[in-house]
Structure 1
Amino acid sequence: MHIHWFPGHMAKAQRMIREQLSLIDVVIELLDARIPVSSANPIIAELIGSKPRVVALNKADLAEAGRTGEWIRHFRSQGLTTVSLDAASGKGTKELVSKVEQEASEKIAKLTAKGIKGRAVRAMILGIPNVGKSSLINRLLGTATAKTGDRPGVTRGQQWLKVGKNLELLDTPGVLWPKMDDQEVAFKLAVTGAIKDDIYDMEKVILRLLEILQENYSERLRERYKLLQAELPEDTAELLALIGAKRGCLRSGGAVDEEKARRIILTDFRSGKLGQFTLDNSNMGE
């Protein structure tokens, strides 16, 4: 399973980030709580250097709560201000704004000492595609100003957005790194939606996902797809066909439409209908 993806606008996004960083007080690094390490773009740390940063674990509603707590403690032990949130519902956004303002307090104090009073905190939101940047901005603004979508690469431009009296946000496109040497990381990015579905081998990705579910969450498979324990085959290809048959994904003649079955499983996983998942292990952050 070899996945490589670096559209031209990603390189442009990096240039834009470098050009705007001098205007920024705090960087908000948005990570996917299901894959806190795999969704962390190493280029971002390189780009921002020593700039104050707040790490936000988004989509926490789709991740295992206990393990999200472990990840928050891990990042905080690294000296990083960290919060969890669900941008879709707004849970955690007030804490995020508070932490951003705290991180910028020293810079604002220096400006005030120079006679520059009342300047809003300027923050930049960075993260890989489809991690929820636009949803977070919309939640903070209380309106659908930033274009959102359920696929990566929707946000292409750059805009300043005012949040209340004390915060201005600079939105940026999602940025992936040029080469993914770790194909397990690539799998996690694909299955969570950071990589466009049409550029990777979905058959291999779904079979790998079924392997993980079969080994660690078989009860969820049985419950969601009305399977009996005795029905669960060890072979993931057979499991895919069984789920497809159970969900009525049949072609004329009775053959299973495996592509349709794969789409159903992927949608169920991403939407939380198969439960909450954290795919990254805590030892990845060591």
Structure 2
Amino acid sequence: MKRPKLKKASKRLSCAKRYKIQKKVREHNRKLRKEAKKKGVSKRVKKDIGVPNSAPFKEEILREAEQRRLQEEKEKRRQAKKEQRAEKRKKEKEAASKAAEPTAKKARKVKRPSLRPYGSPLFQVIDASDVVIEVLDARDPLGCRCPQLEEAVLQRGGTKKLLLVLNKIDLVPKETVERWIQCLQQEFPAVAFKASTQLRDGVVKAKKRRIVASNEVLDRSRGAACFGNCCLAELLISYADKTQSEGSLRVGVVGFPNVGKSSIINSIKGSLACNVGIKRGTTKMMQEVHIAKNVKLIDSPGVVASPSNPPASMALRSLQVEEGGESVLEAVRNLLKQCDKTQIMLQYNIPDFRNSLEFLTLFAKKRGYLQKGGVPNTEQAATTFLADWTGAKLSYHCKAPENHSLPAYLSDAVVTEMQNGWNLNKIKTGNKETLKAVRFPNQASSIGFTSKGPTSGLLSVADIPEGKPGAAATEEEAEQNEESSEVITDGKPSVPIDISLSTAITDDAYDFNTDFK
């Protein structure tokens, strides 16, 4: 039997009951209001009618009210800043407590992982390449050569070839470039090159080309101009046609950081194929770039300089400054020792200085690098100075050796084998055309620099030592610290120079010891 459905109770009320409820609610509310009135409590907030128009001195009253409001807001902001500073001090204390860990733990955390991306892929690039291009900075070609890298290429044997590319020739006097090309060609084929530093993607480049074509005069000395790319590209293509019956010729581009490896690849390609930057170590892994049907270029990370090198070589060729192994102030001091002071003064338009700290103080004032209170920011000045020397901006040069001799790992037979297969006449003709087209700086406007010779490099992470630099580097640093503690004047040591706030800002401060003794 089907169960009957139960009806839900209706919520409808009779009118009498509803009216009765409403009446009780009204009476209850009336009772609450009466009690609140007896106690003097009122829920209604009186509306601020403001200042009536008929009130005297209405404008002054409104102005005072606005000032009070601004002061209250200012006080709130001040209180918020106090809380922020307290929070910052708390975080700094926590960071200081964490920094007080044992030095061995810090070394494990910081030292090894930082250099790992730069050294490991180099052997892969050498093994995968048929031709290895070693890029040299024309300002210091000998200092850019890495004997370990060249020896590793020669030990691979087979048909591997080593080619030298002299980049940044527009920053060196013409006579110096010609002399260096003659010296380098006695060992390996050398190509003069001036890379473009203003390349973008292909669309932008095409637009620029159309704009330039409409102009009658073209300044070929600008950063966008590139010289030597046609010679190098034709040389590689012709070598690939001779040797590669199947497959493509793989060309590895290697060298120390900031010599222009990625810029050379971009200049040959004609577009921005590889990332470039002033900071050393921009390239961290291998990258293949097709420049022709049968030619591939392989970009590689920079070679890490060995800690046993002289401090000046470490400042120019290593990643030590970026990784915190050496301060920029020490790097600037080491570079200044290798230059003529007069040429530095003329280049940066600063007066005479007695040591590197005084030079950085004057340089910071000249550039406007000032901290709070007008104190010269020597750290920023040192960073700018180092960027000028490692980037493609400053003109300095090293003299080529007069009496050339082959390194220990080279012999006449190896030199002959490395030069076989290349069209040497084409290289010679291309270098002449490049040297005619480039606008070189004058000998007087270029800073003379004393090279420290070839720079030892670390090709793999396993070669990176865990401890401190070698004994030779330690002794040199100790000597430099002794020299920096005092200034030599006419062969006699004088008192240390104080470049403090008082001497940096008020140079004409009165010295009572001068007249009253």
211 and 16 in structure 1: CA distance in 2 versus 1, 3 angstrom threshold: same
Q: Give the whole-Å Cα distance in 2 for the aligned partners of 1:180 and 1:64.
A: 31
The change in CA–CA distance for 1:124 and 1:183 in structure 2 (over 3 A counts) is same
Relative distance call for 1:220 and 1:270 in structure 2 (3 A) is farther
Relative to the length of structure 1, the TM-score reads 0.77
Deviates more, 1:177-186 or 1:147-156: 177-186
The structural deviation recorded for 1:58 is: 1.2
Q: Which residue of 2 aligns with 1:32?
A: 137
Alpha-carbon RMSD: 3.0
Identify which range, 96-105 or 122-131, moves more after superposition. 96-105
Q: Secondary structure at the match of 2:397?
A: coil
User: Which residue of structure 2 lines up, in the alignment, with residue 86 of structure 1?
Assistant: 194
Which of these residues, 163, 174, 181, is aligned with residue 54 of structure 1? 163
SS in 2 for 1:77: coil
Residue of 313, 324, 328 corresponding to 1:202: 328
Q: CA deviation at 1:45?
A: 1.0
Distance 1:250 1:146, change over 3 A: closer
Q: Is the alpha carbon distance of 1:104 and 1:16 closer, same or farther for their aligned partners in structure 2, counting shifts above 3 Å? A: same
1:250 and 2:376 matched = no
Cα deviation, 1:222-242, whole Å, max 9, x if unaligned, reads xx33x3xxx313333222222
CA distance in 2, matches of 1:13, 1:127: 13
Partner of 2:397: 278
User: Which TM-score applies when normalising by structure 2?
Assistant: 0.45
Shift of 1:284: 9.9
For residue 251 of structure 1, report the CA deviation from its aligned partner.
2.5
After superposition, the C-alpha distances for 1:180-223 in whole angstroms (9 at most, x for unaligned) are: 33333223325xxx6553432211221233344443614533xx
- 2:284 matches 1:156: yes
Cα deviation for residue 120 of structure 1 reads 3.7
| 2-structure distance, mates of 1:271, 1:39 | 14
Q: For residue 259 of structure 1, what is the aligned residue in structure 2?
A: 379
Q: Is the 8 A contact 1:54 1:100 kept in 2?
A: no
Name the CA distance, whole Å, in 2 between partners of 1:71 and 1:263. 30
Contact persistence 1:25–1:104 (CA under 8 A): no
Among all aligned residue pairs of Structure 1 and Structure 2, give the percentage whose two residues are the same amino acid: 25
Note if contact 1:31-1:56 (Cα within 8 Å) is conserved in structure 2: yes
The equivalent position to 1:8 in structure 2, one of 107, 110, 116, is 116
1:67 aligns to what? Answer: 176
Gaps spanning 5+ residues in structure 1: where? none
* Structure possessing the higher relative contact order (Cα contacts under 8 Å, 6 or more residues apart): 1
Whichever of the two has the greater Rg, that structure is 2
Amino acid at match of 1:255: V
Report the counterpart of residue 172 of structure 1 in structure 2: 300
Contact 1:26-1:103 within 8 A present in 2 as well: no
Amino acid of the structure 2 residue aligned with 1:259: E
Q: Which residue of 2 aligns with 1:131?
A: 259
How far apart are 1:261 and its partner, in Å?
Answer: 2.0
SS in 2 for 1:56: strand
- CA deviation after TM superposition for structure 1 residue 280, in Å: 6.5
Matched residue type, 1:145: A
Query: Does residue 1:100 correspond to 2:236, yes or no?
Result: yes
**In 2 relative to 1, CA 238–42 (structure 1 residues): closer, same or farther, beyond 3 Å?**
same
Q: Can you list the C-alpha shifts for 1:8-41, whole angstroms capped at 9, x where unaligned?
A: 1234213423542xxx332111111122121112
**Aligned equivalent of 1:147:** 275
Q: Alpha carbons of 1:144 and 1:284: their partners in 2 closer, same or farther (altered >3 Å)?
A: farther
Q: Whole-Å Cα distance in 2 between the matches of residues 133 and 53 of structure 1?
A: 15
2: distance between equivalents of 1:102 and 1:179?
40
Amino acid at match of 2:353: P
How many correspondences in the alignment? Answer: 261
In structure 2, distance between residues paired with 1:93 and 1:252: 48
The one-letter amino acid of 1:91's match is F
Q: Write the distance in 1 (CA, Å) between the matches of 2:400 and 2:341.
A: 15
Q: What is the CA–CA distance in structure 2 between the aligned matches of 1:270 and 1:255, rounded to whole Å?
A: 27
Aligned in 2, Cα 1:41/1:285: closer, same or farther, shift over 3 Å? farther
Q: Alpha-carbon deviation of 1:253?
A: 2.7
User: Any stretches of 5+ residues in structure 2 without a counterpart?
Assistant: 1-110, 197-224, 406-517
**Change in CA separation of 1:53 and 1:103 when aligned onto 2, cut-off 3 Å:** farther
| TM-superposed deviation, 1:282 | 3.0
**In structure 2, how many angstroms separate the alpha carbons of the residues matched to 1:189 and 1:206?**
13
